[in-house]
Amino acid sequence: MGLAGEYQVSIRAGEAILHAWTLKIFDQGRPYLIFTEQGKQVRLNHLSPPDRYWFILPKDGDLMGSVSIVQDNTPPAYLDDVCSIVLADLANCEEIKIGYDGGLEYSLAVIGEQTVELD
């Protein structure tokens, strides 16, 4: 089992669907999610302080390099074989890498108050 690329979310009143959304979560170009400590989702080219971010990675993904993992909040009962949820401190990083089984790797340069994606 793994994480789906998109999810269907709906609000119902009895049998009636009041509103429905399709949420695209992961794709091949960006197979991870990043959030501030306060829970706001961020895009890679808009990251700025604070220096700690939550990463949600599919189970075959891993933060590499000098990234300090502050907290691992992956619920072991039902998500540990699907994804990992970690709080990472980027304060002392110039670059972080997210690596995946099979050799796929994404690099992020940490530059002052912004982080930009490198291909």
What CATH number corresponds to the domain at position 101? 2.60.40
Whether 80 maps to a domain, the answer reads yes
pTM of the model: 0.73
- Does pLDDT of 76 surpass 90? no
Phi, psi of 81 (to 5 degrees): -100, 10
- H-helix or E-strand spanning residue 54: strand 52-58
**Domain residue limits at 53:** 28-118
Whether 79 maps to a domain, the answer reads yes
Per-residue pLDDT of 14-55, as tens digits, reads: 999 998 888 777 777 778 888 888 887 777 654 555 588 999
Whether the CA torsion 40, 41, 43, 47 is positive or negative: it is positive
Number of domains in the chain: 1
